[in-house]
Structure 1
């Protein structure tokens, strides 16, 4: 069915977006920690 393929693609894109945003926030946190270490 076309719906199954569409849903699979949607889940894949959603998972990729979620992973990308998580990696982005992690790298952002790491770079902020480098410039401003916790006292």
Structure 2
């Protein structure tokens, strides 16, 4: 078997405080939306 060729990807993710707050609010909203269908 041959070795997999994995590209060199740097996992540096820059995120601001505003982006973090928006992601948190979005995840909470999606969770509430999912729970409302139960």
TM (normalized to structure 2)?
0.57
Q: Secondary structure at the match of 2:16?
A: helix
TM (normalized to structure 1)?
0.56
| Aligned length in residues | 24
Over the residues paired in the alignment, what is the CA RMSD in angstroms? 1.3
Q: Does 1:17 align with 2:29?
A: yes
Q: Which runs of 5 or more residues in structure 1 are unaligned?
A: 27-39
Q: Which runs of 5 or more residues in structure 2 are unaligned?
A: 1-14
Larger radius of gyration: 2
Q: Which has the higher helix share?
A: 1
- Structure 1 stretches of 4+ with a deviation exceeding 2 A read none
